[in-house]
Amino acid sequence: MTDPTDNSSVPSRNRKRFPGISTRAWEHPADRSALVALRKLTGFDEVLKKLAGLVSERSVRLMFLATAVRTSERQFPHLYDMVRDAAYILDLEKVPELYVTQDPQPNAMCIGMDTPIIVVTTGLVEMLDEEEMRAVVGHEVGHAMSGHAVYRTMLLILSNIATRIAWLPLGNIAIMAIITALKEWFRKSELSCDRAGLLAGQDLNASMRGLMKLAGGHHLAEMNVDAFIEQAEEYERAGDLRDGVIKLLQVLPQTHPFAAVRVAQLKKWAASEEYRSVLAGAYPRRTDDADASVTDQWKATAESYAKSVKESKDPLMGLIRDITGGAGEVGSKLRDVFTGSRSGGDAAGGEPQGAES
C-alpha cells in the first residue's frame, strides 16, 4: 500500500483516508446500477475484449512508453506523487501508471480494463494548479477503480457495428438506441468520478475551479466559481419548452456532461448527507460488493431520475411532471408553445410554464 508520508506534494491540511472503500460510495445511481449488473456477469470483460478486436493493453502501454513521458520520481515527480496519493486516499493497492502526452488540448483519460493507465495532456498540466490537478488525478483513479473502460469499449464496439450496418434502417436504429443509453451511462460515470476526485482532494473549491477552467481556460483572475454556478442555474431554468427540447438534443450526443452542469452537480453532492457520511467513515465496503443487489441499484436509479425531474427547474422537466401528475391540457400546452403562444412561455418575459418545481 502506498504511504503518502514521503510525498512532497501531499498538502499540509489533513484529509480523510477511506480504507476498504467501495466505488459504490461515489458512483452516481445510474452509473452504479449498470456496473453492479455488469459485475454479476462472470467473464463479461473477457467476452467484451474478444468482441472488440481491439489492440491489446500491452500494445497501448508500449505506445505510450514510446510517445509520452511516464511519471516517476525523476519525471513529473509532483504528478507521480499525486497519483500515489490518490491511490492511498481511495485505498487502491496497485497504483496506475500516469503518462503525460504533448497536446495543447486540456484532457485526461483512463485507458485499459486489466491494467488501467492514466494519461494527461500538457495542456491540462499547464492550465491547472496543484489542488485542481489533484482532483483530476483522483477523478481518473476513480475511473480505474470503477472499471469504466467497459463503457468506452462497448461504445467503440457498437459505434463500429452501427457504421457497418448503416444501410439497415431498423438495425441501425436499434444500435443507436443502445449507444444513446451507453452515452447516458458514460455521462453519469463522469459525475461519479468528479465525486471520486473530490474525495481524493477534499477541496471542493479546487474541484469546481478545475471544471470551470475546462470551460473558460486558465485566466482564473477573470472568472468566479459562484458566478459559474449561477450560470449553471440559469442554463437549467432558461427558456420555455422549446429550449428544454434543444438542451436535451444538445446533450444526447455527448459523452461528458457540460462543465457548468458538472460544477452544479458536484456542489450539490458535496452538500449531501451521502458525502458527509463518507467523510465520517460510514461508506460501503468493497468486501460487500458481491452482495450488492442489482434490483436495489436499479430502484435507486429510478428514484434518482424521479428526484431529478421533481427538483428540476427546466421547463421540459416541468411538462414531464405535469404529465406524470395527470395534469390536463398537455397537448394544448405543447401546441401553444411550439406555435409561439404566450401561454407556453410569456414572450414579454413572464415565467415560462413548468418552470416551478
Query: Cα(275)–Cα(259) distance, rounded to whole angstroms?
Result: 21
- Residue 120 phi/psi, 5° resolution? -125, 150
8 A C-beta contact, residue 200 and residue 138: yes
8 A C-beta contact, residue 275 and residue 202: no
- Catalytic option among 97, 131, 140, 190: 140
Scanning the structure block, which residue is given the C-alpha cell 485507458?
Answer: 111
Nearest to 25 by CA among 200, 291, 294, 283: 283
Active site residue 140: yes
Three cell numbers written together for 267: 456542489
What secondary structure letter does DSSP report for 110? Answer: E
Q: Which residues contact 198 (CB under 8 A, 6 or more apart)?
A: 135, 138, 204, 207, 266, 269, 270, 275
Rg (CA), the chain: 22
Q: Three-class SS string for 174-217? A: HHHHHHHHHHHHHHHHHHHHHHHHHHHHCCHHHHHHHHHHHHHC
Query: Cα(275)–Cα(270) distance, rounded to whole angstroms?
Result: 6
Which residues are catalytically annotated? Answer: 140
